[in-house]
Chains A and B, each alone.
Chain A
């Protein structure tokens, strides 16, 4: 494919800058519901995208058509589009300098998820599906598996030539119970299709779906008759899988520099982390250290190089509570340098496209709350009254990332340092910087896990990207809880 890559690149006429990506995606998806394999599907997609910078403006065209005429048509279209973009421009696009890179990267996996026999996967999922049915009140039992491969070949007119293969695996179960005029769900190991990591089938084997399925079924049934989560201002401890989404929504998206500069205003919105706040804003308490790290083994946002050919890196977005950096691209890093002349960094390597037919956008890599020093048992013992909440059920945040409201599948009351009765329908609400400034304790590395978010939407046309979030259970003081009338 590299030969074809260079051939296409050679057909691009002289422009300020151009890059080319050939992408081949492969997916295997298996889903069961109520003992039936509802989805057994295999999909592939292959194509290329050409991005050109002409007289300071971008053009992009993409096609499945690898014939000579198709390639020439696509390149011509990209250049023509860039010229039209330039007609009404008020400012030139300027990219940070980038040394040419010639490299290869492949996700290290112990067991290729595509190579495990499909009949073994079906057997596992059906057994996990059946094992959830611990009561007649379980009305839906589901299990999910996906194997994903994305091969990318990147070349730029600056001389970079990079090939990568990202492999990731997803696995999970979900039980739904109905009764007592209620309907409740429980998922394992996380909601919305479980856990997803850039790992192979070893992830599936480690998670022991069948062994965990009865507990999930039992909890779903118990929730039907559990007390409602109370309303008031309480201390809360969020489980790692919920902290992961809290980071994603209230820090990850807020620190995307394209949002800050208004480039996403027409859809996803802007950000309260405006440029003057860089190194000058107490985003959270001193317990809050947030990194963007595309190098963590197994993280769903782990890769070798981004889609501008910038090497994966680790960056502190928040250090000891102080807002420290953004997720950036080569274009936005230049703009940030114009506002903050002391900002000399290049791109933080966050530009990714969801496929060959989309332009790269600033996307989260693995955005993580770094581990603290607490053991979970000690943290619960240290909490006089509070709610422990686990596993996301609903999430929503405003278009500048201030007002959020989250709900979880399950909660437990904490009373005098002990975990007590189960609570249903837990919800909490806050304003992002106020919330993170109420964080006073983060659990340690032994509780820390990188959760995958495979469904992050952004951009027009919509792009769905896969990101990761390292997190451990975390405590927040005096938060508005039970904000929904049921």
Chain B
């Protein structure tokens, strides 16, 4: 780790080098480790460290961005010069109203925990040994990133945060079935490999000799991993101010209106210590809890400084690193829990499908926010409140608005789910029971 004081000095040096009317610098330091296993042995095992520096130079309303991975003085000079030259060549962006001014940033307790190659190998081996007892093949990955982020600008912003994450996931491969499970948190030592292995192995064993079920409209129970995979698309294309005002969002024109069922409340919760909290965005603007959907009503969109200024709204602290052509995106989504346990929800299901996770989810239509994808690694038929059998995987074609208007139950359990080996954070999702989820075809396994 480089540390807050040193990053502050580097940021100060960069800002001093710039002759721009306004300048922003983002510094990132990462130390990553990932141990991967397949066929019940470690086959890829790595550590890598990198630096990132990105400089945005503004001349009037002309913006240039340059980046590199070297903090040496000459390299910093080169980056500032490149960004300045690009800004000189730019056209004016008349909607740009300036970089944000400093605001008080909440100080979170910083929790940085390291892994070692020895610890990672032992955790992975614990998963493999559980699998061997059942003659099942284990595969998976144990990822342990450590990150420092600092954002500064010429108006006086300086924000710094460091964090670590540990994400153990496994896919167990039986002869006719597979099972997925994961555990995620800030500390590699607190990951529970035995529990992860047991959960995945139970799915493999319960799912043996899967049966065919007919595609069509089914009541489904989506596990938190599957909910998180859907929610990633909602976060990108739903309350994003840019997409909303381009009329490309399924929510466009519906602010203040009921868009989902009353039992659906979606919150961006960036300071929650059970996720991977981040107290500021990539412009150094403080983040705070934001209700996006409350009892089915669209309460708030998310903004960065550009779209907040353009549409005369309050900046909600959702900027991504410049140049950002995707718009502002919430990256800490969670849902308000319901009252029933997942056990009760399954027990009260007469006929339906339990879906452990989704795979290869893609957008069919942006405006409708309709998606397609497959089920994967544990899909089960529920009859009369019990998991009756594993079923062969199915393809869904389903829109997010239909999904969230058809929620029958939200579980009281909320579970953490990692995005991209926790490099993109941790979301916290419940189990959802949804009626009339549409499956259009099946596959051969």
B-contacting residues of A (Cβ < 8 Å)?
Answer: 29, 31, 33, 36-47, 49, 57-65, 77, 80-82, 84-85, 87-91, 118-119, 122, 126, 139-140, 176, 178, 182-183, 261-267, 269-270, 272, 357-359, 393-400, 402-403, 405, 407, 425, 427, 429, 431, 460-462, 480, 483-486
**Could you mark each residue 324-348 of chain B with 1 if its beta carbon is under 8 Å from any beta carbon of chain A, else 0?**
0100000000000000000000000
| B-side contacts of A49, CB under 8 Å | 48
**Could you mark each residue 35-61 of chain B with 1 if its beta carbon is under 8 Å from any beta carbon of chain A, else 0?**
111111111111111110000000000
The answer to whether B367 and A183 have CB atoms under 8 Å apart is yes
Within the assembled complex, what's the spacing in Å between the Cα atoms of A249 and B415? 32
Within the assembled complex, what's the spacing in Å between the Cα atoms of A402 and B32? 34
The answer to whether A394 and B363 have CB atoms under 8 Å apart is yes
The answer to whether B86 and A42 have CB atoms under 8 Å apart is yes
Closest to A462 in B: B420
| B-side contacts of A40, CB under 8 Å | 63-65, 86-87, 89-90, 323
Min Cβ gap A226→B in Å is: 14
| A-side contacts of B46, CB under 8 Å | 59-62, 81, 359
**Closest 5 A-B residue pairs measured CB to CB?**
A183-B367, A39-B323, A403-B443, A62-B48, A265-B139
| B-side contacts of A118, CB under 8 Å | 86, 89
The answer to whether B41 and A91 have CB atoms under 8 Å apart is yes
**Could you mark each residue 402-436 of chain B with 1 if its beta carbon is under 8 Å from any beta carbon of chain A, else 0?**
00000000000000000011010000000000000
Q: Can you list 5 A-B contacts (CB < 8 A)?
A: A81-B46, A126-B91, A261-B38, A262-B39, A484-B370
Min Cβ gap A420→B in Å is: 24
The one of A41, A61, A91 in contact with B48, judged by C-beta atoms closer than 8 angstroms, is A61
The answer to whether B82 and A42 have CB atoms under 8 Å apart is yes
| B-side contacts of A182, CB under 8 Å | 367
Closest to B420 in A: A462
Min Cβ gap A206→B in Å is: 24
Min Cβ gap B342→A in Å is: 25
| A-side contacts of B66, CB under 8 Å | 41-43
Contacts A43-B67, A61-B48, A262-B38; is A400 near B445 (CB within 8 Å)? yes
| B-side contacts of A38, CB under 8 Å | 93, 323, 325
Contacts A81-B46, A402-B443; is A396 near B373 (CB within 8 Å)? yes
Within the assembled complex, what's the spacing in Å between the Cα atoms of A425 and B367? 13
Give the contacts of B193-224 with A (CB-CB under 8 A): none
The answer to whether B118 and A84 have CB atoms under 8 Å apart is yes
The answer to whether B365 and A486 have CB atoms under 8 Å apart is yes
Range of interface residues on chain B? 35 or more
Min Cβ gap A232→B in Å is: 14
Within the assembled complex, what's the spacing in Å between the Cα atoms of A176 and B252? 16
Closest to B441 in A: A429
The answer to whether B50 and A47 have CB atoms under 8 Å apart is yes
**Could you mark each residue 342-378 of chain B with 1 if its beta carbon is under 8 Å from any beta carbon of chain A, else 0?**
0000000000000000011111111110101110100
B68 interfacial by beta-carbon distance below 8 Å = yes
B225 interfacial by beta-carbon distance below 8 Å = no
Contacts A40-B65, A63-B49, A403-B441; is A396 near B395 (CB within 8 Å)? yes
The answer to whether B82 and A88 have CB atoms under 8 Å apart is no
| A-side contacts of B47, CB under 8 Å | 60-62, 77, 81
The answer to whether A58 and B44 have CB atoms under 8 Å apart is yes
B121 interfacial by beta-carbon distance below 8 Å = yes
B128 interfacial by beta-carbon distance below 8 Å = yes
B285 interfacial by beta-carbon distance below 8 Å = no
The answer to whether B65 and A39 have CB atoms under 8 Å apart is yes
| A-side contacts of B65, CB under 8 Å | 39-42
Within the assembled complex, what's the spacing in Å between the Cα atoms of A61 and B82? 30
| A-side contacts of B367, CB under 8 Å | 178, 182-183
Closest to A93 in B: B43
| B-side contacts of A393, CB under 8 Å | 364
| B-side contacts of A264, CB under 8 Å | 38
Min Cβ gap A451→B in Å is: 18
Closest to A331 in B: B43
| B-side contacts of A89, CB under 8 Å | 41-42
Which of B105-113, B168-176, B265-273, B381-389 lies on the face that meets chain A? B168-176
The one of B121, B171, B364 in contact with A84, judged by C-beta atoms closer than 8 angstroms, is B121
Contacts A407-B364, A462-B420; is A41 near B323 (CB within 8 Å)? yes
B248 interfacial by beta-carbon distance below 8 Å = yes
The answer to whether B362 and A394 have CB atoms under 8 Å apart is yes
B103 interfacial by beta-carbon distance below 8 Å = no
Contacts A42-B82, A396-B360, A425-B365; is A88 near B67 (CB within 8 Å)? no
The answer to whether A484 and B34 have CB atoms under 8 Å apart is no
| A-side contacts of B95, CB under 8 Å | 36
Within the assembled complex, what's the spacing in Å between the Cα atoms of A462 and B34? 11
The answer to whether B247 and A178 have CB atoms under 8 Å apart is yes
Contacts A262-B38, A262-B39, A461-B32; is A36 near B364 (CB within 8 Å)? no
Give the contacts of B293-322 with A (CB-CB under 8 A): none
The answer to whether A58 and B45 have CB atoms under 8 Å apart is yes
- Count chain B CB atoms within 10 A of each CB in A31, A80, A139, A266 and give the residue with the most: A266
